[in-house]
Structures are given as structure tokens and as C-alpha cells.
Amino acid sequence: MVIGILNFGGQYNHLILRRITELGFDGAFIEPNEPINKVREKYNCLIISGGPWNIPEDIPRTGNAINYILEFPRPVLGICLGHQLMAYAYGGELGKGYSEFGGVRVQVDDEDTILRSLPREFTAWESHNVSVVKPPRGFKVIAHSSRVPVEAMANEDLGRFGVQFHPEVRHTEFGTLIIRNFLELCTMQ
């Protein structure tokens, strides 16, 4: 099983690959303009990584990311920018003025598949200027913070999950567990 990681050149992308490898899975970076049919054939699950851009104005820089989110037939996890792209792709609402940097206390609202076995509150590492302020139709909010109403969201029917924070960095408590929960979901597909 191979996990594809869409590489936007974000500062933590190499850590996503490291966590996947540490958990006993294979991972590989995907460039944003890789054709969707090749991505479908090659990968069991996708992680849409973070990056330095703002959505929606920087959508042209994200290549085929929207297509991957909408058309990939198996589970997708959006992290930071990937979370924002997922919300945008499915019609959620994004907003500025909800920025967070550094350690943020996240409250779990609903222990779903990716937040399984987490405590009701934990510290997560964040670095963003744009936030999801309203989830897309069909998605449920599964975590929030004092500043951001949608720290994590899920649509289990579609196999789509998003987190505003960075579970791949050691500063995020239980981040490895969140990634493990997603990868275990991938093995069931």
C-alpha cells in the first residue's frame, strides 16, 4: 500500500512522509500537476499537504489538487492548506482574520475515525492565515478552537477528512495517532 502526499513545498511535507514511514507504510510525493488517472492507479490514499498559499486567490498554484479531492475514489486527508482546499472544493466557507500560529488548544467535538482515542482537548501546532469557518454540506465539524470554528471536519461517506493543524509535527499532541487512524482507514479500503 502506498500513500500519496501532494507536495506544495510546505515546510513540514518531509515530516508527513517520515511519520508514514515510521508507522510502517510506504509514502511518495506527488507533484500538483500529476494526471488524476495516474494518481488513482498508483496510490491507496492521499494526503493533501500544507503549503505557503492562501485560498481562494492562490488556487491556480495548486495544480490538480481540487480534482484529486473531488475525484480520487479512496480516502483523502487534507492538512492545513489541504483542509482549506477540501472545504473550498465542496462548497465550504473560508475566512481571513482567524489566523493561528504556534501551539493552539483544540477541542474535540466528535470522536470520529481520525480523532478516535484522543482526549477531549489537546495542543496542536498551527501556521495559517486563512481558516475554514463553515464546513461544506455533508461534512461535520469534529474539532474547533477558541478562534477557529472548524479545526477538523469529516465526511465519512466520502472518505474525506481535514485538519487545520499539523499532526505531522511533534508539537501536536497525539498527531501520530491521528495519522495512524487515517492510515488504518486506508487499509480498510
- pLDDT, tens digit (0-9, with 9 covering 90-100), for 54-103: 788 888 888 889 999 999 999 999 999 999 999 999 999 998 866 666 67
pLDDT tens digits, 2-37: 999 998 877 788 999 999 999 999 999 998 899 999
Separation of alpha carbons 57 and 54, rounded Å: 6
Catalytic residue among 126, 168, 173, 186: 168
User: For residues 154 and 140, what is the distance between their CA atoms, to the nearest angstrom?
Assistant: 5
The structural domains of the chain, with segments of one domain joined by +, span: 2-187
pLDDT of residue 64: 87
* Superfamily for domain range 2-187: Class I glutamine amidotransferase (GATase) domain (3.40.50.880)
Give the per-residue pLDDT at 128: 65
Between CA 177 and CA 165 the distance in angstroms is 14
Report the 10 Å Cβ neighbour count for 112.
Answer: 18
Confirm if 84 and 130 have CB atoms less than 8 A apart.
yes
Confidence of residue 52 (pLDDT cuts 50, 70, 90): confident
Q: Examine the residue annotation and report whether 14 is marked as an active-site residue of this protein.
A: no
Spatial separation of the C-alpha atoms in residues 148 and 76, rounded to whole Å: 22
Q: Answer yes or no: 166 catalytic.
A: yes
Helix (H, G, I), strand (E, B) or coil at 118: coil
pLDDT at 100 (0 to 100): 61
Q: Of 4, 11, 23, which is closest to residue 175 (Cα–Cα)?
A: 23
Burial (0-12, 13-18, 19+ Cβ within 10 Å), 90:
buried
Output the pLDDT for position 63. 84
Q: Which residue has the higher pLDDT, 140 or 127?
A: 140
Helix or strand or coil: residue 112?
Answer: coil
Catalytic, out of 80, 100, 173, 186? 80
> Could you report the per-residue pLDDT of 130-181, keeping only the tens digit for each?
889 999 999 999 999 998 999 999 999 999 999 999 999 988 999 999 999 9
